Amino acid sequence: MSLPTDVSDDFREKYIDLASPRLGAEVTYATDDFFADKSRLIDPAEPVFIADKYDDNGKWMDGWESRRKRGEGYDFCVVRLGLPGIIRGVDIDTSHFTGNYPPAASIDACLVDGEPDDTTVWTEILPSVSLKGDSHHLHAISNAATWSHLRLNIYPDGGVARLRVYGEVQCHWARRDPDEIIDLAALVNGGRGIAASDQHYGSPSQILAPGRGVNMGDGWETRRRREPGNDWALIALGHPGAVSKIEVDTAHFKGNYPDRCSIQGALVTGGTEQSLVTQSMFWKTLLPEQKLSMDAIHHFEAEVQSIGPISHVRINIIPDGGISRLRLFGRIAR
């Protein structure tokens, strides 16, 4: 079903884009990409329109666009997700495609090792839906299976600017060494931001992304606080575990980094994500309040409190500001 704007924002804030190239996603095949290369379909940047830009095949468009079909059938492309996961919603974005967008689309999914072939069994997760030009089309996905690839079908041809695939990473935890020290909060291990006091300049899930932040926009930053208190974010770990080392990175945040931070944690066994907001105020202290500095990685090990296995953390930034990355290293709990 199509979702209203406020719910669309909720999807973007609660889930990660499994089709992000940063996670390793790639458009591996397209029946036709004559007018616009298939790789642009999952470009993390917002699509742009350049009025006077043309190439050898015609008008340059920021997305994936096939030529006009003069026979039966339809076009499609295959997207390998960065990591296998449960898909909660998709956004088929036709921004800037006005006279050349497809009037309808559907999405199939599969779970395979390697790449799909002629023997692959595809499952429809989004039945055919109508599209409009220069618009976002965000649809909830009810199938809660784990998928590795998507097939975007467009009827019969045309252009799509972006495909966003919002979901949760699924890991094979039974195969992991329980003695291995891993980043329990990393996106690649299934960690995700689930709530925050303020997300004016970015989602808390961004602080769990691989690598260091590329710029100040590649992190979580709150608006300037003009009232008492402090800002905070709730993070769900990919798997419950005991945290023994923490890194807080303020890369690129120089005039707007938090003065201090602290972290609380808990092993959550019930309730809803919304109910955790209130409960988190009373969680045990994992990292007591620590001073931060600009544009630096802060390592904490001796300061980390032993509170046993946890599944969620609340990072408090005092009073406000931005951080680029949060790493919570430890062993998974069996």
pLDDT above 70 as % of the chain: 97
Amino acid making up residue 287: L
Residue 3 is predicted with a pLDDT of 46
Residue 49 CB contacts under 8 Å (≥ 6 apart), including other chains: 61, 62, 95, 96
Q: Grade residue 247 by pLDDT with cuts at 50, 70 and 90.
A: very high
Residue 128 is predicted with a pLDDT of 98
Q: What is the pTM of this model?
A: 0.87
Residue 212 is predicted with a pLDDT of 94
What is d(CA 136, CA 129) in angstroms, rounded to the nearest whole number? 12
Burial 10-34 (b: 16+ CB within 10 A, else e): ebbbbbbbbbbebbebebebbbbbe
* Contact predicate 232/259, CB 8 Å: no
What is d(CA 76, CA 64) in angstroms, rounded to the nearest whole number? 10
- Whether 5-169 and 174-332 share one fold: the answer is yes
What is d(CA 220, CA 239) in angstroms, rounded to the nearest whole number? 22
The pLDDT tens digits for 259-309 are: 999 999 999 998 888 899 999 999 999 999 999 999 999 999 999 999 999
- Considering the domain 5-169 in this protein, what is its CATH number? 2.60.120.260
pLDDT above 90 as % of the chain: 89
Q: What CATH class does 174-332 carry?
A: mainly beta
The pLDDT tens digits for 134-192 are: 999 999 999 999 999 999 999 999 999 999 999 999 988 888 888 999 999 999 999 99
The answer, yes or no, to whether residue 5 has pLDDT greater than 70, is no
Residue 236 CB contacts under 8 Å (≥ 6 apart), including other chains: 191, 192, 193, 194, 273, 311, 312
Q: Residue ranges per domain, the chain?
A: 5-169, 174-332
The answer, yes or no, to whether residue 251 has pLDDT greater than 90, is yes
